[in-house]
Amino acid sequence: MSKKVLITGGAGFIGHLVIEKFLKETDWEIIVIDRLSYAGNLTRVNDVITKFGENGEKRASFMFHDLKAEFNKDLVSKLSDINYIIHIGASSHVTNSIENPYIFVQDNIIGTFNLLELSRNLNSLELFYYFSTDEVFGPSYEDKKFLEWDRYNSKNPYSATKSAGEELTIAYSNTYDIPSLITHCSNVYGERQYWEKFVPNTIKKILNGDKIIIHTDSNNVPGSRYYIYNEDLAKTILFLVLNFKNAQKLAYEKTNLKPTKVNITGESLISNLEVAEHISSLLNKDFNFELVNKDPSRPGHDIKYGLDNSLLKELGGVYDRKFEDGIANTVEWFISNPEWLG
């Protein structure tokens, strides 16, 4: 019997590829919820569904809903037989969270609460999947890689609200016995990313001849990230959903804690200056940049994060193509689709 999966934030950068993976690799019915904020784009969803023709149109449907609003009776009825919830939808821009933290509290805490309230009344639910970030652990010093249950150390309102969403998920899992999975993820890049993010914004600036600001630590060392390609992340999300029981068993054996937590990360640490250099080479254009330390407009921004993905490796769910290949695909796509550069 076919399953039903609800994907929040499905019109977003990560969510639309998760839809594609489920359409391709399962026969499940997919319900997408999104409020279509500035970073959400229904074109992403439509493009994915179109790839699968009549089958895609039959199996995937879209519902407009803002998660910080309670689910009305009509929505609750339509979602009454959901088997899987993948909660990706969130406000995620650090600078925006610093300028207006209230929105992030509403979206990332209240929104998660409303979804958990829906979940605890679903007799059909087999998994609640909360998608979180490496930023909940704060900056990584001396090449520290955080394990799944290490202490939170939020440095900005965005990461604080994601930590709070995790805690709500943990509480509901233990109180109401909701089978739950929490993943932390490193920096994601790839096609159809919103233009304000570092990779597409760098492509845009190099094409326009604009200066790129590279933030550094006090020793003038550029900030760096463990980058993961968006398609590889979508594969991992699908893998963890389909192999949740195995992940749950192995994680509990290692920690004696629940719910299940898994770290997802790229394997290679790459500085933002190196990212710009790769893009410059692919575009065959020189670029102007400035190294900036202690930018007053960026309080709460960290220079580096780090995750230990030993658990995911043991499960066999690591998909990580070389950065050189992923960034080449990304640059080529944006060149062919310049309207996505804002």
Q: pLDDT value at position 69?
A: 95
Q: Model confidence over 91-148: pLDDT tens digits?
A: 988 889 999 999 999 999 999 999 999 999 999 999 999 999 999 999 998 889 999 9
Q: pLDDT value at position 325?
A: 97
Mean pLDDT (the chain) is 94
pLDDT band at 219; cut points 50, 70, 90: confident
Q: How far is CA 171 from CA 106, 148, 149, 176, 244, in A?
A: 19, 16, 14, 8, 19
Q: What gap in Å lies between CA 66 and CA 303, rounded to an integer? A: 32
Q: pLDDT value at position 136?
A: 97
Q: Model confidence over 264-293: pLDDT tens digits?
A: 999 989 999 999 999 999 999 999 999 988
Whether the Cβ atoms of residue 306 and residue 144 lie closer than 8 Å to each other: yes
The 8 Å CB, 24+ separation contacts for 314-319 are 314/250, 315/239, 315/240, 315/243, 315/246, 315/247, 315/250, 315/262, 316/239, 317/236, 317/239, 317/240, 317/243, 317/262, 318/236, 318/267, 319/232, 319/233, 319/235, 319/236, 319/239
Give percent above pLDDT 70 in the chain: 97
Q: pLDDT value at position 41?
A: 87
Q: Model confidence over 287-324: pLDDT tens digits?
A: 999 998 865 555 656 789 999 999 999 999 999 899 99
Which residues participate in catalysis according to the annotation?
Answer: 134-135, 158
Q: How far is CA 182 from the centre of its chain?
A: 12
Give percent above pLDDT 90 in the chain: 87
Q: Model confidence over 15-59: pLDDT tens digits?
A: 999 999 999 999 999 999 999 888 888 999 999 999 999 999 999
* CATH numbers and ranges of domains, the chain: 4-189+226-264 (3.40.50.720), 198-224+270-304+322-341 (3.90.25.10)
Q: What gap in Å lies between CA 115 and CA 86, rounded to an integer? A: 10
Q: pLDDT value at position 268?
A: 87
